[in-house]
Amino acid sequence: MLKAKLAMSGEPEARLNALLPLLSSQTRLLILGSFPGVASLRAQQYYGHPQNHFWKILQAIWPDFPTGTGASSYEIRSEWLLSKRLGVWDVYASCEREGSLDSSIRSAVVNNFSALIRQCPALQAIGHNGGESFKHVKRVQAALRITGSPDGSATQQVKSASIDFYKLPSTSPANASWSFERKLSAWREVFELQGLI
């Protein structure tokens, strides 16, 4: 009841801060989401909603996926993900948002990507997990001093300098128009192109 009263009174929503990136010097493909949902922020884990397909897609691509539950399981999965030369981060460093939908994001601050090449010298590609993330492809390119433009197709690739950019179908449960199999196929194609499988 208090939350409803605050929203109706015009009080600003609380500022939310993103998770720290999962990156290593061996990261070849970086997956950029938009901003963690409520379940992910609560758990302090990327793709923490049980209906999100991110971890299920990785499990389908790499059969040696570590199983288990709990915080230590997330740490194990994160280390495993990094060992596969995959990284995870989000476009937004902070925002205001009610709920988990990208359409509810307000007053967003974009992460500073300018040091990414130094942190990840092996980086060859960035896969934007969904449309909200991909809206910022030019901004990420500019931060990396890369130029290029998307072609407007459903699964988009922008080749600039030595970095490939892809628009991947969102793994969010809100993206119900794509089946799991269709998402998996699109993600697998990018992983294959980048030599990760």
- Amino acid 109 reads V
Does residue 23 or residue 152 have the better pLDDT? 23
5 in a domain, yes or no? no
pLDDT exceeds 50 at position 188: yes
Q: What is the pLDDT of residues 102-117, one digit of tens each?
A: 788 899 999 999 888 8
Q: What is the mean pLDDT of residues 28-51?
A: 95
DSSP 2-52: HHHHHHHTTPPPPEEEPPPPB--TT--EEEEES---HHHHHHT-TT-STT-
Q: How far apart are the C-alpha atoms of 65 and 58, rounded to whole Å?
A: 7
- Measuring CA to CA, which residue among 14, 15, 7, 11 is closest to residue 109? 15
The reply to whether 90 falls in a domain is yes
pLDDT at 69 (0 to 100) = 67
Is residue 3, in this structure, part of any structural domain at all? no
| Weakest mean pLDDT among 7-21, 40-54, 78-92, 144-158 | 144-158
Which has more confidence, 161 or 139? 139
Mean pLDDT of the chain: 86
Q: pLDDT tens digits, residue range 125-142? A: 999 999 999 999 999 998
- The number of folded domains in the chain is 1
Per-residue confidence band for 155, with pLDDT thresholds at 50, 70 and 90: very low
Residue 93 in any domain: the answer is yes
Q: Using CA atoms in the order 182, 184, 190, 196, what is the torsion angle rounded to 10 degrees?
A: -160
- pLDDT at 3 > cutoff 50: no
More confident residue, 34 or 145: 34
Beta strands in the chain (DSSP E): 15-17, 29-33, 86-90, 92-96, 106-110, 125-129, 157-160, 163-168
Q: Give the residue-averaged pLDDT of 57-84.
A: 90
Asked whether 92 and 34 are in contact (CB, 8 A), the reply is yes
31 belongs to a structural domain: yes
More confident of the two residues 133 and 7: 133
pLDDT at 71: 63
CATH of the domain at 189: 3.40.470.10
- Residue 8: inside a domain: no
- pTM for the complete prediction? 0.84
4 assigned to some structural domain = no
**Does residue 44 sit within a domain?**
yes
Average pLDDT score over residue span 121-127: 95
* Residue span of the structural domain in which 103 resides: 13-193
Residues in the chain: 197
